[in-house]
Chains A and B, each alone.
Chain A
């Protein structure tokens, strides 16, 4: 229809600041007519849809919410909530009247004390693990069950003091050709264990981790597979390279002390060298580390020097050590050691410190220390910890 086209045309000219005074008059003539109302609304809608604005293009006066609109809860909440508030009122007591109805929202949050937010405590983890033998049998280990556990192909497996010891002294030298038997030691959240391998190498296993290793080291190399995190003190054996494989990377050692963190929920895979020398391999990249260095592996290998050893080794030393670390990385360790799930209301960017805090304490103690910074608050309910920024 011609008049529709004309209306459109004038509208577009107007928008583009090209309309002459006469055209503007015409446009408003159309707008004044009620029969064009729907059409106009459509055109406005299209203009809105097509509009892309660079934020900051214009200076806009900030909107201040009028005070009466910020009025006490009562004005805005339908009947259902008033009834609820009233029942809470009855239970909590008269003093609360002022908290619910007279104070702005912020103060209600403060009113919830730590005692109210921490509904229960959580016990720390302990020495416990699962051992899967070469024949598929599974044994639950804890430091309580001592003594000889099994004999596998001439190797005696002992369990004492939270350590699994592989005694291969009775094994004869002529072992080549014999089948290599593997054992897997695994921990769930809240568990930790250590083992001494047949060559005398010591391995500490963190929570939610596992190591798969040969019962006896025959052949040209000592190959270990891990998930999660483990710390190694490798016995020297120049004839057999010690290789740790985990999450797509390989760490080769001759004799040394190092920590491998392959947890999939951390930002990178980290291999930290304390003593000796290791070579870290990912795909076609490799890096040689010297003591004090840490290889951080994501898509490639990045080597960092002078890393905080205390922090890396803290778990093995039975403590929490975080020096101005972000809350999320602390909570990941808390989650593994206390076997709890962490919930975030909003992203948290604050930092906290936990210096030399024993892992043997119950969880509320850890959280209380973190709350003292004023940067974060927590709620505990059963196995769930909610982080409130």
Chain B
């Protein structure tokens, strides 16, 4: 009587499921940073947006090459660096692209709105962090401000690395929703204020 090899079945399942979940987690954790980095280097939001898509799709396609245990941060950093590097290299050889970039640069220099937005954003961001539960807030701050790795945080708080990751994902999602919701309002207030000048 042949017994079903349930262990292999489970591993197979984990490979499929675990990857989808890991992908979602990485996306939650890194989309903002990748976008911000791309925008900072290309000065164009639409270009940055496209890059985020490209990077994550490439990450998904190559996922069987990446184990769940790996330091995704480092892997993503490398991928993003390469993307941006290629873009800058291309621009340096293309007059037209350089023109576009210089125009964007000038527009950014002349606008005050960004600076005010920056301040407003900081405020909303701080508020958002305050809405987190004590544990999530602690983990988030240890990661962002304290620059601790998930492993280090897990050891500090005597919880599992997975718990740290899950809490971070939740925290970031919560913050993003809060900020998005409240900066729309801030934008409106800002627009009205500027208009009134």
Please state if B40 and A57 are interface contacts (CB–CB under 8 Å): no
Please state if A60 and B31 are interface contacts (CB–CB under 8 Å): yes
From residue B32, how far is it (CB to closest CB) to chain A in Å?
5
Q: Which of A15, A17, A19 neighbours the largest number of chain B CB atoms within 10 Å of its CB?
A: A17
Of B85, B108, B166, the residue contacting A44 (CB under 8 A) is: B85
Please state if A69 and B166 are interface contacts (CB–CB under 8 Å): no
From residue B169, how far is it (CB to closest CB) to chain A in Å?
11
Of all chain B residues, which has the CB nearest A76?
B64
Interface string of A334-360 (1 = CB under 8 A from B): 000000000000110000000000000
Of A18, A60, A85, A347, the residue contacting B166 (CB under 8 A) is: A347
Please state if A61 and B52 are interface contacts (CB–CB under 8 Å): yes
Please state if B89 and A31 are interface contacts (CB–CB under 8 Å): yes
In Å, the complex CA distance between A60 and B45 comes to 9
From residue A26, how far is it (CB to closest CB) to chain B in Å?
11
List chain A residues, Cβ under 8 A from B32: 53-58, 60
Q: What is the predominant secondary structure among interface residues of chain A facing chain B?
A: helix
From residue A299, how far is it (CB to closest CB) to chain B in Å?
14
Indicate if A91 sits at the interface (CB-CB under 8 A).
Answer: yes
Of B48, B89, B105, the residue contacting A24 (CB under 8 A) is: B105
Query: B1-38: which residues lie under 8 A (CB-CB) from chain A?
Result: 2, 4-5, 8-9, 12-13, 15-17, 20, 23, 27, 31-33, 35-37
A-B contact count (CB 8 A): 152
Known: A31-B88, A69-B60. A63 touches B52 (CB 8 A): yes
From residue B152, how far is it (CB to closest CB) to chain A in Å?
17
In Å, the complex CA distance between A52 and B8 comes to 42
Query: A78-96: which residues lie under 8 A (CB-CB) from chain B?
Result: 78, 81, 84-85, 87-88, 91-92
Indicate if B61 sits at the interface (CB-CB under 8 A).
Answer: yes
In Å, the complex CA distance between A41 and B56 comes to 20
Please state if B64 and A69 are interface contacts (CB–CB under 8 Å): no
Interface string of B169-192 (1 = CB under 8 A from A): 000110111111001000000000
Of A41, A60, A78, A105, the residue contacting B49 (CB under 8 A) is: A60
Query: A1-48: which residues lie under 8 A (CB-CB) from chain B?
Result: 14-15, 17-19, 21, 24-25, 28-29, 31-32, 37, 40-41, 44-45, 47-48
List chain A residues, Cβ under 8 A from B17: 105, 109
Please state if A32 and B92 are interface contacts (CB–CB under 8 Å): yes
Indicate if A77 sits at the interface (CB-CB under 8 A).
Answer: yes
From residue A131, how far is it (CB to closest CB) to chain B in Å?
36
From residue A16, how far is it (CB to closest CB) to chain B in Å?
9
Known: A21-B106, A51-B37. A56 touches B92 (CB 8 A): no
Indicate if B158 sits at the interface (CB-CB under 8 A).
Answer: no
Indicate if B53 sits at the interface (CB-CB under 8 A).
Answer: yes
Please state if B2 and A91 are interface contacts (CB–CB under 8 Å): yes
From residue A350, how far is it (CB to closest CB) to chain B in Å?
16
In Å, the complex CA distance between A63 and B31 comes to 9
List chain B residues, Cβ under 8 A from A108: 13, 16
From residue B193, how far is it (CB to closest CB) to chain A in Å?
20
- Apart from A51-B33, A81-B12, A105-B17, what 11 extra A-B contacts exist at CB < 8 Å? A17-B109, A19-B105, A21-B105, A31-B92, A45-B77, A48-B37, A53-B35, A54-B179, A57-B179, A88-B5, A108-B16
The 7 A-B pairs at the shortest CB distance, nearest first, are namely A56-B179, A56-B176, A54-B125, A55-B176, A32-B92, A31-B92, A28-B92
15 contacts between A and B (CB under 8 A): A15-B41, A17-B105, A25-B102, A28-B91, A31-B91, A32-B93, A53-B33, A55-B176, A56-B32, A57-B179, A58-B48, A65-B23, A84-B12, A87-B8, A91-B2
